[in-house]
Structures are given as structure tokens and as C-alpha cells.
């Protein structure tokens, strides 16, 4: 295991000064305000999950049509051992 120091944390939290293209986005976002449906396919009614306020997901790509590709971490604690996580990809509307 690699020890995490304050310097490491500060380095991770330092953002680049130039603009980052949307396809490079990889950061957690939180659901605020209301429930958000996450669709398995863009513009379709096939719902993968209902996200509740306070849920955290990883924003992957912001699509030009207003849909965002996201990944919802799902904890697989049933016999998988600590620290093992599964993920559910889907789309939410910006």
C-alpha cells in the first residue's frame, strides 16, 4: 500500500490552468435537489437506476446533446471482500 501524504492530496487537488476537453472529464459529482433517473441508453426509457440526493457518481463524458455518461459505483460486499466495487454505467440529462 502506498502511503498518502498531505503533499499527495494537495497535488491531486491542483487543477491545470488550461481548459480541459469534455472527453477528459473524470471526476465525482453528487446528486442534489431531487431524484435523477439514470438511463441505460441515451434518449431511451430503459432506466438503469434512480439516483437519490446525496448519491455520488463519476462523470465520464458530457455529450453535446445534453446527456452525460456517468458511472455509479455499486458496493459488492457479498463475499467479494472489502474494497471490491462493481460499477453501473448509464446516462443522465444535464
Give the CATH number of the domain where residue 51 resides. 2.30.30
Report if residue 76 sits inside a domain: yes
> Would the pLDDT of 9 be above 50?
no
Q: What's the pTM? A: 0.55
Return the half-sphere exposure (C-beta side, CA atoms, 13 A cut-off) of residue 20.
12
Give pLDDT, residue 28. 67
State whether residue 8 is helix, strand or coil. helix
Whether 1 is covered by a domain: the verdict is no
Residue 3 lies in a domain: no
**Average pLDDT of the segment spanning 21-50:** 73
Domain count, the chain: 1
**Domain extent at residue 49:** 23-93
14, part of any domain? no
11, part of any domain: no
Domain contains 84: yes
- In three-state secondary structure terms, 9 is helix
Amino acid at each position: 500500500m502506498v502511503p498518502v501524504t498531505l503533499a499527495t492530496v494537495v497535488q491531486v487537488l491542483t487543477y491545470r490552468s488550461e481548459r480541459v476537453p469534455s472527453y477528459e472529464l473524470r471526476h465525482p459529482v453528487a446528486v442534489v435537489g431531487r431524484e435523477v433517473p439514470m438511463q441505460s441508453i441515451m434518449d431511451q426509457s430503459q432506466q438503469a437506476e434512480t439516483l437519490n440526493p446525496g448519491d455520488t457518481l463519476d462523470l465520464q463524458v458530457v455529450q453535446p446533446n445534453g446527456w452525460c455518461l456517468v458511472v455509479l459505483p455499486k458496493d459488492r460486499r457479498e463475499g467479494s471482500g472489502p474494497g471490491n466495487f462493481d460499477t453501473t454505467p448509464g446516462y443522465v440529462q444535464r
